Amino acid sequence: MSVLLATIEQSGSTGEQIVFWVCAAIAVVGAVGMLISRRAVHSALFIAATMIALAVLYVSQGAPFLGMAQIVVYTGAVMMLFLFVLMLVGVDSTESLVETLKGQRIAGLALALGFAVLLFAAIGNVSYNFAVGIDGANAADGGNVQGIAHLIFDRYLLAFEVTSALLITAALGAMVLAHRERHTPRKSQREQSEDRVRSGEPQNLPGPGVYALHNAVGTPGLLPDGQPTDRSVPEPLRGVSAAVGVDHEDTRRVNALAAGGAIIPGKAEDES
Amino acid sequence: MNPTTPQYGDLALFGHDPLWLVILKALVLFIGLVLLTLFTTWFERRVVARMQQRVGPNRAGPFGLLVPLADGIKLALKEGITPANADKVVYLLAPMIAAAAAMLVFAVIPLGPVVSIFGVSTPLQLTDFSVSTLYILAIASIGIYGIVLAGWSSGSTYSLLGGLRSSAQMVSYEIAMGLSFVAVFLYAGSMSTSQIVAGQTDWWYAVLLLPSFVIYLISMVGETNRAPFDLPEAEGELVAGFHTEYSGLRWAMFFLAEYVNMINVSAVAITLFLGGWRAPAPISTVWSGANDGWWPILWFLGKILVMLFVFVWLRGTLPRLRYDQFMRFGWKVLIPISIVWILLVSAWRGIRNEYGTDLRTTLIWLGVILFAIAAIAFLLDLRRAPEDEVVEPTYDPYAGGYPVPPLPGQEFTYTRRAPQTVPATVVETSALESTGQELEGDRNE
């Protein structure tokens, strides 16, 4: 660690150091927060903060293209896709803490150990002066973007193409898995409207009834001739008269009125 | 400054400003954006009113110019309601993310050439670096977080649906937007905004790269959630979409973000396609000093106004798209067209860089001849097509009573079957039977 600190102190201006300490703190807090937060969306937010902090560090280290690509690709696309799925989980749901994978702790520990070895080896390399530094690499090709382009499209062209073929295959695979054959042709807007007219009821369904006592959605509406109609009640409520269903007592009363009663003056004469 | 002053379009111009100048520039940009937002709200209401044969706001101040101020005061004095089942922290954070991200884009927008501010010679741009257009895309993608999180944290169904819609919409239209940038990068040979503007000295890229410009214009409307692509806040379906539950100043921040984003995408369109701060053609040909000193700010603001007018015009003219049509348009029309266009442009650039103009003219003629042959063949084929389009119905998908997908080699044909006779559901109310209101269509509800 002291080697790392020493390298930071000897390279870079005060501005760069301030950026480093601020962004490093954000990145670490974000990473820890990602692990300990209960809600999946909070975890996603923390990791997004970590990614942005890392992107700022890349930019301040002289790799602006990498920094921007990090935000556009990882924060903007990948994390957004994660968030998209997580949002459907709902605002007040928390993660279940039951472990379903056997031996995942040991496997995780082993992986973490391997990663730590890799990380220390990579950072330790700095003290052996193999690295030229990003400025030298940038200057060789006339700029950061040009340097990356040179490496990707010249030296690592095969790896780049293979990766892109892999990604395209994955995308196609996802599409094949999600694809469902259509067995009937899709109805056009014209056919739909024709079907509607043929059904004998081209207009909207009647709205729920508004009586002096009730205006709940389960109350049947009255047709123009005074008859109540079940079709104004949403289907799940039809026939469920107990709690929220159709108020059949109301229906009966209205029916009785419509049949012979004379609440509305002149109504009874018209009906008979 | 160095004794040899770099020309405009050289990135060495940037990064030498003293601290006070950086702060001054940032402050001016911030205040300018807020003032421009206030103006835009008034402008939009007046112009839309005009288009709808109304007068629009005309009470507060001359021509109703003070209406935005009155709105601002009203919003500031309103209560900021937090729903009981909202995620409090994220709920407060979301409008801040949206507004802050919107403000950041203008840092890399060039507003003019090198001028002298209090004795310091500096370009009229806060900063620029080699990938500043990617920075614009990056900031735009952070801005989406504000909207998505607002939708999620409100704890309301309408907000959630609005947030989901907007995240899907903005992510997919950002792809089309990014692809429309690529042709510009190829022509300018750079991703920095000041170099792109410098590359448009002779021709605007809107003329040279018209398909890219059209794709950008469409995707920028989708990216800002403006009509006819304002599905995240479609009031007929989602009340107000992601900001349904917001009120007071928090809502005002979303409002600010939307209008600043409109200004942002307009500024990006101007920078990448419409010559940036350069004076439009008739002025610059007549008056040689039009592109010097402080004048470019005038041209830039004029172009911004025109773009804002286009936004308002679209809103006043076009009805809102249906969501599936909108997504289909983005993924199946805009993105394939831009990919093919990029292929053409890069092939064109490659040929020009490698072989110069001689081969180019040969290739043009070759292309024209090939295209003509292809067109004739296509037309002939169109004429012949109906004759050999007799397809034998090889199998019946409903043969066994259940739909069965076609096996390899079998071709699916749709056979219209008579509607199945299902007994009508018994409707409880006797009234329906008595009046004969029970109709065929009821079964299908």
Asked whether residue A126 falls in the same domain as residue A42, the answer is yes
CA atoms of B59 and B443, how far apart (whole Å):
56
Asked whether residue A75 falls in the same domain as residue A171, the answer is no
Note the pLDDT of residue A225. Answer: 75
**Among A242-256, B23-37, B185-199, the range of highest mean pLDDT:** B23-37
CB atoms within 10 A of CB B417: 10
A102 is a domain residue: no
CA atoms of B265 and B18, how far apart (whole Å):
29
CA atoms of B113 and B297, how far apart (whole Å):
9
CA atoms of A8 and A14, how far apart (whole Å):
10
A110 is a domain residue: no
A190 is a domain residue: no
Helix (H, G, I), strand (E, B), or coil: what is residue B180? helix
Q: What is the CATH number of the domain that holds A6?
A: 1.20.120.1200
Q: What is the CA radius of gyration of chain B?
A: 28
Count of domains observed in chain A: 3
Secondary structure in 3-state letters for chain A? CHHHHHHHHHCCCHHHHHHHHHHHHHHHHHHHHHHHCCCHHHHHHHHHHHHHHHHHHHHHCCCHHHHHHHHHHHHHHHHHHHHHHHHCCCCCCCCCCCCCCCCHHHHHHHHHHHHHHHHHHHHHHHHHCCCCCHHHHHHHHCCHHHHHHHHHHHHCHHHHHHHHHHHHHHHHHHHHHHCCCCCCCCCCHHHHHHHHHHCCCCCCCCCCCCCCCCCCCCCCEECCCCCEEHHHCCHHHCCCCCCCCCCHHHHHHHHHHHHCCCCCCCHHHHHC
Helix (H, G, I), strand (E, B), or coil: what is residue B121? strand
Q: Which residues of B touch A84 (CB under 8 A)?
A: 148, 164, 167-168
Q: Quote the percentage of chain B above a pLDDT of 90.
A: 9
A91–B86 CB contact, under 8 Å: yes
B177, containing H or E segment: helix B157-188
Is it the case that residue B401 has pLDDT exceeding 50? yes
DSSP label at residue B64: G
With beta carbons less than 8 A apart as the criterion, state whether A251 and A221 touch.
no
Note the pLDDT of residue B173. Answer: 86
pLDDT in tens, B246-256: 888 888 898 89
With beta carbons less than 8 A apart as the criterion, state whether B133 and B185 touch.
yes
Residue of B nearest to A43 (CA): B90
A71–B444 CB contact, under 8 Å: no
With beta carbons less than 8 A apart as the criterion, state whether B323 and B165 touch.
yes
Size of interface A-B (CB pairs under 8 A): 141
Mean pLDDT over the full length of chain B = 80
- My answer on whether omega of the bond before B228 falls inside 30° of 0, hence cis, is yes
CA atoms of B188 and B190, how far apart (whole Å):
5
Smallest CA–CA distance, residue B322 to chain A, in Å, is: 13
pLDDT in tens, B264-278: 999 999 999 988 888
Asked whether residue A123 falls in the same domain as residue A164, the answer is no
Q: Which residues of A touch B129 (CB under 8 A)?
A: 64
| Burial of A37 from C-beta contacts in 10 A (0-12 / 13-18 / 19+) | middle
The candidate with the shortest Cα–Cα distance to B213, out of B223, B204, B202, is B204
A33 is a domain residue: yes
A196 is a domain residue: no
Of B86, B163, B440, Cβ closest to residue A87:
B163
Asked whether residue A27 falls in the same domain as residue A121, the answer is yes
Note the pLDDT of residue B436. Answer: 42
With beta carbons less than 8 A apart as the criterion, state whether B25 and B17 touch.
yes
Asked whether residue A36 falls in the same domain as residue A156, the answer is no
Residues sharing a CB contact under 8 Å with residue A45, sequence separation 6 or more, in sequence order: B90, B149
pLDDT in tens, chain A (272 residues): 444 444 545 555 677 788 888 889 999 999 999 888 877 788 888 998 999 999 998 888 878 888 888 888 888 888 888 887 777 765 555 566 677 777 888 899 999 999 999 988 888 877 776 666 777 777 777 777 888 888 888 889 999 999 999 999 999 999 889 888 777 788 888 888 888 888 887 887 777 777 766 666 677 777 777 777 777 777 766 765 444 445 566 667 777 776 776 555 444 444 43
Q: Quote the percentage of chain B above a pLDDT of 70.
A: 83
With beta carbons less than 8 A apart as the criterion, state whether A64 and A144 touch.
yes
One-letter amino acid of A12? G
Note the pLDDT of residue A113. Answer: 94
Asked whether residue A234 falls in the same domain as residue A121, the answer is no
Of A64, A183, A223, Cβ closest to residue B403:
A183
Higher pLDDT, A149 or B363: A149
Q: Which residues of A touch B152 (CB under 8 A)?
A: 41, 83, 87, 91
Note the pLDDT of residue B392. Answer: 55
Domain ranges across chain B: 71-350
CA atoms of B198 and B67, how far apart (whole Å):
39
Higher pLDDT, B235 or A119: A119
Note the pLDDT of residue A165. Answer: 95
Asked whether residue A15 falls in the same domain as residue A74, the answer is yes
B359, containing H or E segment: helix B335-384
pLDDT in tens, B412-441: 666 555 555 444 444 444 444 444 444 444
Q: A237: domain range? A: 206-265
A122 is a domain residue: yes
Which residues 24-63 of B are in CB contact (within 8 Å) with A?
Answer: none
Asked whether residue A30 falls in the same domain as residue A125, the answer is yes
Long-range contacts of B3-10 (CB under 8 A, 24+ apart): B5/B114, B5/B121, B8/B113, B8/B114, B8/B123, B8/B194, B8/B198, B9/B194, B9/B195, B9/B197, B9/B198, B9/B199
Asked whether residue A55 falls in the same domain as residue A155, the answer is no
With beta carbons less than 8 A apart as the criterion, state whether B11 and B129 touch.
yes
The candidate with the shortest Cα–Cα distance to B154, out of B87, B81, B238, is B87
B324 close to A (CB below 8 A): no
B141–A91 CB contact, under 8 Å: no
Which residues 134-163 of B are in CB contact (within 8 Å) with A?
Answer: 134-135, 137-138, 140-142, 144-145, 148-149, 151-155, 160, 163
B134–A72 CB contact, under 8 Å: yes
A9 is a domain residue: yes
Smallest CA–CA distance, residue B363 to chain A, in Å, is: 26
CA atoms of B162 and B145, how far apart (whole Å):
13
Q: Supply B324's token pair.
A: 């599936």
B138–A246 CB contact, under 8 Å: no
CA atoms of B400 and B369, how far apart (whole Å):
54
Asked whether residue A8 falls in the same domain as residue A45, the answer is yes
pLDDT in tens, B99-136: 999 999 888 888 888 887 787 778 888 888 888 898 99
Asked whether residue A120 falls in the same domain as residue A140, the answer is no
A103 is a domain residue: no
Q: Quickly state the pLDDT bin for B285 (edges 50, 70, 90).
A: confident
